[in-house]
Amino acid sequence: NNCQLVLEIAIYHTQNHSTIRKTAQKFNLSKSCVHNYLKKELPKLNKELFFKVETLSQINFKNKHYKGGIATRKKYKDQNRSL
């Protein structure tokens, strides 16, 4: 059932403070599919859970640049080791 899947995704996403990417990997779905479920389908099913997802999305968005910096630093650190 599609409604059940949307709720399972939202619950997993909020309980694990997961990113869209990690949630998509867990459910073997595309990021865009998970995003559409959480942004378009979830508000119709459960407003309270939708607001939790939105709060987490805002936190993840604010931390995006920080995680990108860590990934870049790690990439170049790993490249320097192989030289």
Coil, helix or strand for 12? Answer: helix
* More confident of the two residues 19 and 42: 42
Spatial separation of the C-alpha atoms in residues 37 and 24, rounded to whole Å:
11
Using the predicted structure, report yes or no on whether residue 53 has a pLDDT greater than 90. yes
pTM of the model as a whole: 0.74
**pLDDT at residue 62 in the model:** 72
**pLDDT at residue 39 in the model:** 94
**pLDDT at residue 9 in the model:** 97
Q: Which of 14, 5, 3 has its CA nearest to residue 52?
A: 14
**What digits encode the pLDDT tens for the residues 7-27?**
999 999 999 998 899 999 999
Spatial separation of the C-alpha atoms in residues 38 and 13, rounded to whole Å:
9
**pLDDT at residue 83 in the model:** 54
Summary count for the chain: helices (H), strands (E): 5, 0
